[in-house]
């Protein structure tokens, strides 16, 4: 009997040498005349252990990591391929049974249930692990009932805005049109985020199935995945999976033996953050420059090529199959308040254990950063976390008991966004981070509206002015200082209330949170920034 070994093909593992490790394992097995089945799976989402190699044993998989090619002969010597042993080989890189690793064991993986477990491009493997059960149920229901399940589940958009998916789906389903579309937003531009990528590289069929259910519900016949250009491995994996789905009748005409037609293609963006904004993305998909559209009409009524279009994020769509399979009530049972279900949270930045943690809403920042994350990578004291990408707020350590919940974050002037958490130690300069927020906005602005196009550049200048006045002269002139702070305040108000989309509208969030929680970095006192909230 041949042993089965798993070496991830996920970008994080590849960047740490997974291909070389896979090559070394295959070569060593050949040298020792051992019959081996080498599977290139997705990542389990424990990046500090990558490349993490797993071996199938009598009692489940046993993990080793991080493995370097030079470790491979010793792993063979330790008997790591002994499939009868539940403990695996006795080797210093041995991590024991994968599912028992604390980081993984305490998670509640619904959307990520198969990521790291299946062979991402094997439809057989997907089916063997419960794949396409959601579609089978959807095909047995009237469209209104599918919408009801999504609405009942409480699923809100995981791309950032947290808009209820059921409302969007109902709008497109009820719109009368000859042609409708389903578009998956896979632009994933937020700093510190990678959950979309992990789905696309680790379980692409779950996304394809989710999009197919959306198409069946809305009566859409064409779908597009708008993928960021920085994800070449996801592109390859998606295209392989889409090809397999076509060959097996899960895409194309009469999908899964039904009367529905659904065609699906991947379109690659060109590296603009604003093309993650849904209307700019639709412009880009139509072959135009990625500029934000005025709303209304919303895409659910007039989206791609002016037709009704369901636009959802990768994680939102990849969550649809489990909701259809197990029912909206099952999914809704997880979470807190109006944040139902689970969120794949991404830990990044200066953190000891970076990776993917899928948990029900309600878990606190402290649990995530200190317990799962293990504190800072540098070992220095933690000072701040930024949640929700470049437009998200910076929170100090005193606020780590904040639960992951859309409303709780909004009440503290922050956003959950796409669930990315970037960790900073005590060397971070929050004034520089605030300046960077304006700079980022200036670089990525689509230029359509004045508050964002001009305001972002003026914002960086005002932060510079404040720092010049307050940091360089020991006795700052009161009127200069008040004028600069007043200007910043007006500018943030103008951007917040006058911008056409959330790029300009939310840029003041990181700036104001830095001022509010870390005024000393600007050379200011708490009373100087009382207006920041
Ligand atoms: C500047 C900007 C960038 C965005 N980038 C993304 C992105 O990369 N991926 C994404 O899914 N949504 C992004 N969004 C949110 C989308 O506009 C939209 O809300 C989302 O695709 C809808 O899907 P959902 O409801 O499933 O979240 C962005 C929004 C803004 C304003
Ligand atoms: S806020 Fe910025 S990105 Fe959004 S429409 Fe205005 S200029 Fe474009």
The pLDDT of residue 484: 84
Q: Can you give the C-alpha Rg of the chain in angstroms? A: 24
Tell me if 255 CB under 6 Å of ligand 2. no
Tell me if 507 CB under 6 Å of ligand 1. no
The pLDDT of 513-530, averaged and rounded, is 88
Query: What is the rounded average pLDDT for all residues in the chain?
Result: 95
For ligand 2, what atom is nearest to the CA of residue 452?
2
pLDDT score of 454 more than 90: yes
Q: Quickly list DSSP for 312-346.
A: EEHHHHHHHHHHHHH-HHHHHTSEETTEESEEEEE
Q: For a ligand 1 pocket test, name from 276, 299, 446 the mutation site with the most ligand atoms within 8 angstroms of its C-beta.
A: 276
Residue 433 confidence class, pLDDT cut points 50, 70, 90: very high
Instruction: Mean pLDDT check: name the lowest of 114-118, 245-249, 516-520.
Output: 516-520
Q: For a ligand 1 pocket test, name from 155, 160, 229, 447 the mutation site with the most ligand atoms within 8 angstroms of its C-beta.
A: 160
The pLDDT of 352-380, averaged and rounded, is 98
What is the SS3 assignment for 208? helix
pLDDT score of 88 more than 90: no
State phi, psi for 231 to the nearest 5 degrees: -115, 65
For ligand 2, what atom is nearest to the CA of residue 447?
7
Q: For residues 358 and 49, what is the distance between their CA atoms, to the nearest angstrom?
A: 18
The pLDDT of residue 82: 81
What is the SS3 assignment for 112? coil
Stated length of the chain: 533
The pLDDT of residue 129: 98
Residue 527 confidence class, pLDDT cut points 50, 70, 90: confident
The pLDDT of 68-92, averaged and rounded, is 83
Quick check: pTM over 0.95? Answer: yes
**pLDDT 10s digits, 181-225:** 999 999 999 999 999 999 999 999 999 999 999 999 999 999 999
The pLDDT of residue 84: 63
The pLDDT of residue 1: 64
pLDDT score of 87 more than 60: no
> Would residue 398 be called left, alpha or beta, if left means φ above 0 and alpha means ψ between -120 and 50 degrees?
alpha
Look at 478 and 284; give whichever has higher pLDDT: 284
Closest CA to 48 of 312, 375, 330: 375
The pLDDT of residue 89: 66
Express as a percent the part of the chain with pLDDT over 70: 97
The pLDDT of 463-489, averaged and rounded, is 77
**pLDDT 10s digits, 119-129:** 999 999 999 99
The pLDDT of residue 472: 65
**pLDDT 10s digits, 135-185:** 999 999 999 999 999 999 999 999 999 999 999 999 999 999 999 999 999
């Amino acid at each position: 009997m041949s042993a089965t070994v798993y070496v991830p093909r996920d970008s994080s593992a590849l960047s740490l040498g997974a291909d070389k490790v896979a090559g070394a394992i295959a070569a060593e097995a050949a040298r020792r005349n051992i019959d081996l089945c080498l599977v290139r799976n997705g990542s389990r989402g424990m990046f500090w252990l990558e490349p993490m190699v797993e071996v199938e044993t009598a009692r489940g998989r046993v993990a080793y990591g991080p493995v370097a090619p030079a470790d491979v002969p010793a792993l063979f010597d330790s008997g790591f391929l002994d499939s009868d042993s539940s403990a695996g080989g006795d080797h210093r890189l041995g991590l024991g049974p994968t599912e028992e690793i604390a980081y993984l064991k305490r998670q509640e993986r619904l959307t990520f249930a198969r990521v790291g477990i299946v062979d991402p491009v094997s439809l057989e493997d997907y089916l063997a692990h419960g794949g396409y059960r959601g579609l089978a149920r959807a095909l047995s229901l009237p469209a209104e009932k599918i919408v009801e399940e999504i609405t009942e589940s409480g699923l809100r958009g995981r791309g950032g805005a947290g808009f209820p998916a059921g409302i969007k789906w109902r709008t497109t389903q009820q719109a009368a049109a000859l042609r409708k579309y389903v578009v998956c937003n896979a632009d994933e531009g937020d700093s510190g985020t990678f959950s979309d990528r992990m789905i696309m590289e680790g379980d692409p069929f779950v996304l394809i199935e989710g999009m197919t259910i959306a198409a069946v519900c809305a009566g859409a016949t064409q779908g597009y995945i708008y993928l960021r250009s920085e994800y070449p491995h996801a592109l390859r994996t998606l295209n392989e999976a889409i090809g397999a789905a076509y060959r097996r009748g899960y895409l194309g005409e009469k999908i899964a033996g039904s009367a529905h037609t659904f065609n699906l293609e991947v379109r690659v963006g060109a590296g603009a953050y604003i093309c993650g904004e849904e209307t700019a993305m639709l412009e880009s998909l139509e072959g135009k420059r990625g500029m934000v559209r005025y709303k209304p009409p919303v895409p659910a009524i007039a989206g791609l090529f002016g037709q009704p279009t369901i636009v959802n994020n990768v994680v939102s769509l990849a969550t649809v199959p489990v909701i259809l399979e197990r029912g909206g009530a099952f999914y809704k049972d997880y979470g807190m308040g109006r944040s139902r279900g689970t969120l794949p949270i991404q830990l990044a930045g200066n953190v000891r254990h970076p990776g993917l943690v899928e948990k029900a809403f309600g878990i606190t920042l402290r649990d995530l950063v200190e317990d799962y994350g293990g504190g800072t990578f540098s070992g220095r004291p933690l000072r701040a976390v930024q949640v929700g990408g470049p437009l998200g707020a910076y929170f100090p350590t005193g606020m780590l008991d904040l639960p992951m919940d859309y409303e709780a974050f909004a009440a503290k002037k922050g956003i959950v966004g796409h669930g990315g958490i970037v960790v900073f130690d005590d060397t971070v300069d929050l004034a520089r981070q605030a300046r960077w927020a304006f700079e980022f906005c200036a670089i990525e602005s689509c230029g359509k509206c004045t508050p964002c196009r001009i305001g972002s550049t003026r914002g960086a200048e005002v932060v510079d002015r404040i720092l010049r006045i307050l940091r360089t002269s020991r006795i700052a002139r009161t009127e200069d200082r008040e004028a600069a702070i007043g200007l910043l305040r007006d500018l943030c108000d103008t951007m917040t209330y006058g911008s056409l989309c959330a790029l300009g509208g939310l840029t003041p969030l990181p700036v104001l949170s830095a001022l509010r929680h870390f005024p000393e970095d600007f050379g200011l006192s708490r009373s100087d920034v009382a207006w920041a909230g």
